Amino acid sequence: MKLPSLEAPSGQNWSCHGCSNCCRGGLLITLDGADRQRIVDQKWTPAEGVDPDSMIVPHGRGFRLGHQADGACVFLTAEGRCRIHARFGEPAKPLACRLYPLTFHPAGPRIAVGVRFDCPSAVQNRGAALSAQLEPLRHLATSALQGMPASVPAPPVFSGRPIEWQEFHRVLRRLDALIAGTDAPLAHRLVRGLHALAALESVPLDALNGRDADLAIEATFRQALTAAAASTLDNANSSLMSRILLRQQVLELARRTTVRNLEQPQRYRWFLLKAAFQFLTGTGRTPDLGEGFGSVPFRTVNRVADSRTGEFDALLTRYLRVKLQTVSCCGVGFHGLSLQNGFRALVLQYAVIRWLARWHSAAAGRTQPETVDLEAAVRRADHNWGHGRNPMAVLRLLVQRGDLGRLALDKRMRS
């Protein structure tokens, strides 16, 4: 396919800083046929620190990279460097390794370039601006989108209402501007976004097209925002059912399936079953999910204050805007959802991250989350974004009960 122009989200930086976090987590790096043959042709030997008999192992109907005893990639050196990269250069690595943590999603006349926030450098916004790296990234985008149809339809703004890319971007830009605002806390901006999209749903599709479309969208948003601002946003309390649903989503996004889990499938299934029961009841102790998310009493998590400082809002605003601008919350980028449902998923993600930040803080013995807790929460929650289960069943219940906005606003966030 002829690749359209690339576009990066505003305000997002990233460069690889060689932390090797992505090579140490026991994660599954699947290989296509070209990847596998290229590694076989490299003719690795035990003298070079790689056992050729275990460097590639069967996985489902294909293959994946092998792992060392501690879960690290078989090609990772003790100094934290990739043997393939050091010996043959970056192009010789598997495609999944070359792409990480970059994402590429069709966005109509262009390709949106984003990052996965389970990378520490992405969370901390370290490195060069993504917008300054677009030309060098074209070859990766071509590889990532190989096999993708030349024309990908725009995600609907609302389920069951097909729309063109031009109209989709009109709504997306206005929604992004709302989340980028500084006139209210992020939680309020998210709830206003829910109100605005609900109001826009009643606008005829024709009004989103033509020269007056921006005026119609702006008028609808302003009317909805006035109504939302007049509501008692600060007094919202989430219900017991909504907190149960939130905890289930926390577990879905916090768990990480590693090679060790797959090597002990029966034990891992029992672990997940027990964890699901623990999060269902919210009593006893959380499971130990590692990397700072240790086992602590749920009541200890409940006692951690819900910190919403300007620094926290700035990080979460950047995170959510990247998901919006790169079309990573709807369409082919996220379970085929409409923009409205994708935005609802982002509101739920915001609540999940706050819960995880409190858990990480509690596990470290703190009574209020610090920046390190929020960064760990974003990384953990984003790890399964787009790869976990479709959240629509949870979202449907929360929307029907009117609880989604309350979860974002609830300052107590009790379990």
CA–CA dist 118, 60 (Å, integer): 25
Instruction: Give residue 133's pLDDT.
Output: 94
The parts of the chain modelled with pLDDT lower than 50 are none
Question: pTM for the whole thing?
Answer: 0.94
CA–CA dist 357, 121 (Å, integer): 18
Instruction: Give residue 229's pLDDT.
Output: 64
pLDDT tens digits for range 39-61: 999 999 999 999 999 999 998 88
Number of H helices, E strands in the chain: 18, 6
Find the DSSP H helices in 282-337: 298-303, 310-325
341 in Cβ contact with 395 (< 8 Å) = yes
CA–CA dist 107, 300 (Å, integer): 44
Measuring CA to CA, how many Å separate 179 from each of 130, 191, 255, 323, 338?
A: 20, 10, 28, 12, 18
Residue 194 backbone zone (phi > 0: left; psi -120 to 50: alpha; other: beta): alpha
CA–CA dist 56, 59 (Å, integer): 9
Single-letter residue type at 37: Q
Domain ranges of the chain: 5-144, 165-235, 240-409
The length of the chain in residues reads 415
Instruction: Give residue 136's pLDDT.
Output: 87
pLDDT tens digits for range 216-240: 899 999 888 877 765 555 556 788 9
Measuring CA to CA, how many Å separate 156 from each of 3, 50, 180, 306?
A: 23, 48, 22, 35
Instruction: Give residue 301's pLDDT.
Output: 96
